């Protein structure tokens, strides 16, 4: 039984880490998109 419990814990941890990784990737992509947009807006405002 202990082997099965360990396997279940590892599977749960793996799923949790994958979900956390996906969330981080999405967050970073959104931040980069926002930064790009804001930078382009600043450039357009400062260009005569």
The answer to whether the predicted template modeling score (pTM) of the entire model surpasses 0.95 is no
Tell me the average confidence (pLDDT) per consecutive run of 10 residues in the chain, 48 residues long: 92 97 98 96 87
For 2-39, the DSSP string reads HHHHHHHHHHHHHHHHHHHHHHHHHHHHHHHHHHHHHH
Rounded to an integer, what is the distance from CA 40 to the centroid of its chain? 23
At residue 47, the pLDDT reads 81
């Amino acid at each position: 039984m202990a082997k099965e419990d360990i396997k279940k814990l590892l599977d749960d941890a793996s799923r949790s880490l994958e979900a956390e990784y996906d969330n981080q990737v999405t967050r970073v992509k959104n931040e980069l998109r926002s930064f790009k947009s804001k930078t382009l807006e600043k450039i357009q405002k400062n260009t005569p």
